[in-house]
C-alpha cells in the first residue's frame, strides 16, 4: 500500500504520535512508508544521495511538527513537506552543480537505479512523459489524495482546466504503459525465437 493511499486519520495519527516523541511509531512508519516517500522524492531530485537526505529532512519535519497542532489534511501537509524539501535540495544541488564539474564516477547508471528502486523506477519514468503541470496534477490528486478543486487552487489554474489536464495525463500514462507492454511482448517473442 502506497504512502498516500493510507486513510487520512491513520496518517494524522502517525504524525501526532511521532511528533510527541514516540520513536517506536516513527520506526513503524519508516518501515512501512519510507520506500513510498523515497520514490516520490526521487522523482524530484533524481539522485540517490539527495533523495536519502530529503527523506531524513522529511522525517525530521514530522518529528518537529508539534503534536498539539491540529492537522486538517495530513496527506496534503506531508506531500507539501516532501515537495518543499525536494525543491530545496534540488536548488542546493543545482548551485553545487554550477560550482563543481561532473565527474564520470558521479553518473549513476539506469541499471543501478533500477536495482535500487525495483518496480518504482517504471512509475518515475512514466511521469517523465507528462508535462510539469500534468505531473503536478497526477502527484497531487492520484498519489497525494488532494481533491481536484484543491489541486486547481494549488496550481493556480481553473477547475475545468485542472480536471482536463488530469484526465489527459491519465490517458498519456495509459498509452505509455500500453506501449511498454507492447515492447516487452516483442522482447519476449524475440527471445523465444533466438
The C-alpha atoms of residue 165 and residue 158 are separated, in whole angstroms, by: 10
Distances (CA, A) of 166 to 20, 87, 158: 37, 22, 12
Q: State yes or no: pLDDT of 52 exceeds 50.
A: yes
pTM of the model: 0.50
Query: Looking at the structure, do residues 151 and 170 belong to the same domain, yes or no?
Result: yes
Residue 179 domain boundaries: 129-194
pLDDT given at position 100: 43
Question: What is the chain's length?
Answer: 194
Cα 171–74–18 angle (5° rounding)?
Answer: 130
* Count of alpha carbons within 13 angstroms of residue 75, beta-carbon side: 21
The C-alpha atoms of residue 40 and residue 145 are separated, in whole angstroms, by: 14
Q: State yes or no: pLDDT of 60 exceeds 80.
A: yes
Three-class secondary structure of residue 69 per DSSP: coil
Query: Looking at the structure, do residues 113 and 138 belong to the same domain, yes or no?
Result: no
- Contact of 159 with 148, CB cutoff 8 Å: yes
**Domain C-terminal end among 94, 121, 148:** 121
Best mean pLDDT range from 94-103, 143-152, 153-162: 153-162
The C-alpha atoms of residue 96 and residue 47 are separated, in whole angstroms, by: 13
Please list, in sequence order, all residues whose beta carbon lies within 8 angstroms of the beta carbon of residue 81, skipping any fewer than 6 positions away: 58, 61, 62
Stronger pLDDT, 105 or 15, i.e. the higher one: 15
CATH number at residue 143: 1.10.10
Query: Looking at the structure, do residues 141 and 109 belong to the same domain, yes or no?
Result: no
Range name among 27-36, 119-128, 132-141 with the lowest pLDDT average: 119-128
pLDDT in tens, 93-126: 666 555 444 444 444 444 544 444 444 555 666 7
pLDDT given at position 113: 45
The C-alpha atoms of residue 64 and residue 58 are separated, in whole angstroms, by: 10
Query: Looking at the structure, do residues 90 and 27 belong to the same domain, yes or no?
Result: yes
CA 7 to chain centre: 18
Can you tell me the mean pLDDT for 32-56?
Answer: 84
pLDDT band with cut points at 50, 70 and 90 for residue 39: confident
pLDDT given at position 33: 84
pLDDT given at position 161: 93
Can you tell me the mean pLDDT for 140-158?
Answer: 82
Total domains present in the chain: 2
Stronger pLDDT, 51 or 186, i.e. the higher one: 51
- Contact of 39 with 117, CB cutoff 8 Å: yes
pLDDT given at position 192: 76
Amino acid at each position: 500500500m502506497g504512502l498516500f493511499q493510507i486513510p487520512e486519520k491513520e496518517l494524522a495519527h502517525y504524525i501526532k504520535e511521532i511528533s510527541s516523541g514516540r520513536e517506536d511509531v516513527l520506526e513503524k512508519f519508516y518501515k512501512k512508508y519510507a520506500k513510498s516517500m523515497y520514490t516520490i522524492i526521487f522523482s524530484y531530485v533524481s539522485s540517490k544521495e539527495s533523495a536519502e537526505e530529503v527523506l531524513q529532512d522529511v522525517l525530521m519535519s514530522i518529528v518537529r511538527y508539534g503534536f498539539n497542532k491540529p492537522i486538517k489534511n495530513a496527506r496534503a501537509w506531508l506531500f507539501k513537506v516532501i515537495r518543499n524539501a525536494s525543491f530545496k535540495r534540488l536548488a542546493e544541488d543545482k548551485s553545487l552543480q554550477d560550482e563543481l564539474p561532473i565527474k564520470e564516477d558521479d553518473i549513476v547508471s539506469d541499471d543501478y537505479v533500477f536495482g535500487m528502486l525495483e518496480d518504482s523506477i517504471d512509475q518515475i519514468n512514466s511521469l517523465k512523459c507528462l508535462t510539469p503541470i500534468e505531473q503536478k496534477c497526477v502527484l497531487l490528486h492520484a498519489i497525494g489524495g488532494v481533491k481536484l478543486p484543491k489541486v486547481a487552487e494549488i496550481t493556480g489554474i481553473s477547475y475545468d482546466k485542472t480536471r482536463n489536464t488530469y484526465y489527459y495525463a491519465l490517458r498519456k500514462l495509459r498509452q505509455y504503459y500500453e506501449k511498454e507492454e507492447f515492447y516487452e511482448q516483442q522482447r519476449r517473442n524475440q527471445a523465444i525465437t533466438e
